[in-house]
Amino acid sequence: MKTVSIFGTNLEFVRLPSAHPRDDVPAMVFLHEGLGSVSMWRDFPQKVADATGCEAIVYSRVGYGRSDPATRQREVTYLHEEGLAMLPAFVDALGLEQPFLFGHSDGGSIALLCAGGTDVSPSGVIVVAPHVFVEDVTIEGIRQARTIWDTTDLPAKLAKYHNDADTVFRSWQDIWLNPDFRDWNIEDILPAITAPVLAIQGEDDEYATMEQIDRIAAGANDVDLVKLADCRHSPHKDQPQAVIEAVAAFVERVLD
């Protein structure tokens, strides 16, 4: 594990070379979900790297995993801050040229914001269970997650992956349940995305409906959709092989 300083904050990250590297393939940056971290991806980024020839680069955002804690309270603009400032600075610090961006849930929203609102110019954008607006099902899912947090051993489980699991969870739920966040929407950024997009959604997602990726397809210029049956909010865990195959085919299409 390595660290890189972004705006004075140390972020943990790891670089995973492909078992089948190709000279013509840029790196792929993995952006975790609202409760995620480097270690919570487990071996999935390595499998994608091996299937695509891309180097996988995985990092934990501020306050997550073993990265430095946040120095101020999270605001309702936090996804914009991550997509428009932190992610471009990370890409620049590592000297990455037109990387692929792979984002899950919140990470998918961050990837879309970066692709449509900065000069990073990704080769392609892969979003898995992303959010572009706030749905009632999302709010209800987070309320249920709060009950699970308060009544099960979820805090102990999450503590294995974060220096401060309680702050990770509270910050995530507090923003999404904040009434001011109810109007959050990034559909206006979608037409500015010039890179090809692969959007993947599970039919049984407990935090979103297919409307999320359908709106991405309606707003962005070049979008492939993959809708997976028997799949919840983490397609890379529920249907890993289907996701890997879709990503590998997408990379080939982009680079062909």
Residue 231 pLDDT level (bands cut at 50, 70, 90): very high
pLDDT at 30: 99
Percent of the chain with pLDDT over 90: 97
Evaluate if residue 172 carries a pLDDT over 90. yes
Evaluate if residue 229 carries a pLDDT over 90. yes
* Mean pLDDT, rounded, of the chain: 97
Long-range contacts of 224-230 (CB under 8 A, 24+ apart): 224/196, 224/197, 224/198, 224/199, 224/250, 224/253, 225/199, 225/200, 225/201, 226/198, 226/199, 226/200, 226/201, 227/200, 227/201, 227/203, 228/200, 228/201, 228/202, 228/203, 229/203, 229/204, 230/203, 230/204
Percent of the chain with pLDDT over 70: 100
Evaluate if residue 24 carries a pLDDT over 90. no
Q: 3-state DSSP call for residue 31?
A: strand
Domains and CATH numbers, the chain: 2-255 (3.40.50.1820)
- pLDDT tens column, 80-102: 999 999 999 999 999 999 999 99
The amino acid sitting at 37 is S
Q: Cα separations (Å) of 100 from 15, 70, 213, 227, 233?
A: 14, 27, 18, 21, 21
The amino acid sitting at 237 is K
The amino acid sitting at 101 is L
pTM: 0.97
Question: How far, in Å, CA of 86 to CA of 8, rounded?
Answer: 11
- pLDDT tens column, 182-209: 999 999 999 999 999 999 999 999 999 9
pLDDT at 228: 98
Question: How far, in Å, CA of 171 to CA of 74, rounded?
Answer: 7
Question: How far, in Å, CA of 216 to CA of 66, rounded?
Answer: 32
25-48: average pLDDT:
98
- Angle in degrees, 0-180, between the axes of helices 44-52 and 240-255, rounded to the nearest 10: 40
93-116: average pLDDT:
98
CB atoms within 10 A of CB 191: 12
